[in-house]
Amino acid sequence: EKWKLVPAFLKIKGLVKQHIDSFNYFINVDIKKIVEANNYVTCDADPLFYIKYTNVYVGSPDVDEGFNISKLTTPHECRLRDMTYSAPITVDIEYSRGTQKVAKTGLLIGRMPIMLKSSNCVLSNKSEFELAKMHECPLDPGGYFVVKGQEKVILIQEQLSKNRMLVEEGKWGAQCQVASSTHDRKSPTIVFVKGNKYFLGHNMFTDPIPVSIIFKAMDFLSDLEICEVIGIPDIHQLTPTLEECHKLQIYTQEAAWNYLGTKMVAKRYVTSASSVRTPADDARDALATTILAHVPVEEYNFKSKAVYLGLMIKRVIQAQSDKQFLDDRDYYGNKRMELAGSLISLMFEDVFKRFNFDLKSIADKTIPKIRASQFDVIKYMRSELITSCLVFAISTVHL
């Protein structure tokens, strides 16, 4: 009787329910997490200036008829009028204007294309009669978008798991890679063996760094502590790596930060605040927030991050001696299916960061100028940036 399971599954779940659930999670939960992770914008020109996002909402699909008049719309109307079926994204913010604190609610920052039959769609939970009145087919499962009058579907994409160790054969031998991903930062970190030494590679550094120096920077100062946190019985495997610290005369945490500061990649955007910070400060912050970003560090206590790095090194050492410890990147356990909601979430996160960066740049340029009126950041909030990026991404399916 197994053949009955597939029709029963399709009858209950359908083929697009996972897409709709994914999109619902994004507009009800994930978008709030993204805004919360990037909720504070400051500028270098005025230390008192700030913008703080307190909440974000995705409204119901509507259409702007001009003269600030908007009315609710249906997917059928958008198809006929070659419009995008989208809803306003509004935020509540608190910001400073001169010396005043100002709070505003319901500010439009962009428009979000809405997936048909999702929780914000006018077609959700409607009877067949109500759908027929809206000129929609009762058998239409939804799960797609109407962009500029065209129906667009976002396909499922297969990607390697985030925040998961993957041990593979690399250029010089075994290597362990982790693609760290948080709402704040995304970056890969690699631990590899070259010769008989172990190095950490990251795009924040110009050269690979011996892992012993990274451990010193994490306040694991004695060689015994480093060996214990890696957890291998034979200390001789790590001797060449530990000798790197002695060659460079790095014995303290500050010395390790200073060394890492000399290996940092030059910043693309240099601001007036950058001149106050030393390279060692940048190295310490990079170690806390960017390298293995998914392992949290509170008050520069690196213990949990050191344990995680130790495990990465241990897995590389195991893979060196026995090839069965290598992972297969084509194995489905090491992959994830990215659905419509998570793909749009990544897109929105990028464009929201760019929106905030533009506001910061405008504040940096405008505040120092002598003006008759006080600088009001609200006038510079352009909703077209987020709208056009999301519409372009879905209409060309570039996600």
CATH no. for residue 230?
3.90.1110.10
Average pLDDT of every residue of the chain? 85
Tokens for 65?
Answer: 């008829």
Q: Is residue 202 part of a domain?
A: yes
Q: Same domain for 149 and 215?
A: no
DSSP 219-280: T--SHHHHHHHHT-S-GGGGHHHHHHHHHHT--SHHHHHHHHHHTBPPPSS--TTTTTS-HH
Q: Same domain for 236 and 272?
A: yes
Q: Is residue 346 part of a domain?
A: yes
Q: Is residue 201 part of a domain?
A: yes
The closest alpha carbon to 282, from 296, 269, 263, belongs to: 263
Q: Is residue 1 part of a domain?
A: no
Q: Same domain for 35 and 89?
A: yes
Q: Is residue 6 part of a domain?
A: no
Q: Same domain for 301 and 357?
A: no
pLDDT tens-digit series, residues 142-191: 888 899 888 888 888 888 888 888 888 878 888 888 888 887 788 888 88
Q: Is residue 318 part of a domain?
A: yes
The closest alpha carbon to 353, from 220, 185, 105, 225, belongs to: 185
Tell me which residue range forms the domain holding 213. 164-335
Given 335, 370, 387, the domain boundary residue is 335
Q: Same domain for 320 and 178?
A: yes
Q: Same domain for 198 and 310?
A: yes
CATH no. for residue 88?
3.90.1100.10
Q: Same domain for 318 and 383?
A: no
Number of domains in the chain: 2
Q: Same domain for 192 and 316?
A: yes
DSSP 208-232: -EEHHHHHHHTT--SHHHHHHHHT-
pLDDT tens-digit series, residues 311-369: 888 888 888 888 887 888 888 888 888 888 888 998 998 899 898 888 888 888 888 88
- CA 51 to CA 93: how far, in whole Å? 7
Q: Same domain for 59 and 150?
A: yes
Q: Is residue 4 part of a domain?
A: no
Q: Is residue 8 part of a domain?
A: no
Q: Same domain for 119 and 199?
A: no
- CA 230 to CA 253: how far, in whole Å? 19
Average confidence (pLDDT) over 55-63: 89
* Dihedrals phi, psi of 259, to nearest 5 degrees: -65, -45
When pLDDT is cut at 50, 70 and 90, the band that residue 24 belongs to is very high
Q: Same domain for 152 and 40?
A: yes
Q: Which long-range contacts (CB under 8 A, 24 or more apart) does 295-301 make?
A: 295/180
Q: Same domain for 200 and 252?
A: yes
Reduce the DSSP state of residue 14 to 3 states and report it.
coil
Average confidence (pLDDT) over 30-43: 87
